[in-house]
Amino acid sequence: MGKLNAKAAVRGRLIAVGLAVSAAGLIVAACSTVPGDTADAGEKASPRRCLSAPLDTTRVLDGKTLFVEDRSGTAALLHMNASCLGSDFDPVGFTFRGSSQICHPIDAEIKGQINTVAIPCFVKSIEILDKERAKELRFGAKKDNSW
């Protein structure tokens, strides 16, 4: 009878420890959140900070500025280090590095074309645009009419 009580006591302790560890794990999981996962009802969700392929619209605004919009509606201006883009009618090539997103200037290799010569472009900065500014640049006047 004494052995049965000892076994029951050990088994009870193991169950109690297992439940305590499980409860601690649930508490940690419930308390840890990824930024942006939950937002208060009155709080606005932050806009996406990356462009994803396939790109829906590319438009040369001037020799150093490219307007880009992806299919989800995220738009940005890619500012180049030097004049490497031709007119709005010349093709612009993208080669993605590592993923199909452009979040940082080094995420894609861009080639502009002036006349028939492909010229590598180095992105200096990415400016994510709000919806109003994107709509204005999508069909509006060029930023600078001189190439």
Which CA distances in Å does 32 have to 11, 20, 27? 32, 18, 9
Res 83 pLDDT > 60: yes
Three-state secondary-structure class, residue 17: helix
Neighbours of 126 (CB within 10 A): 19
Q: How far apart are CA 28 and CA 49, in angstroms?
A: 29
Higher per-residue confidence, 109 vs 35: 109
Three-state secondary-structure class, residue 4: helix
Which CA distances in Å does 33 have to 29, 30, 77? 8, 7, 32
Region 134-140 average pLDDT: 85
Res 69 pLDDT > 50: yes
Q: What is the pLDDT of residues 86-99, one digit of tens each?
A: 887 888 888 888 88
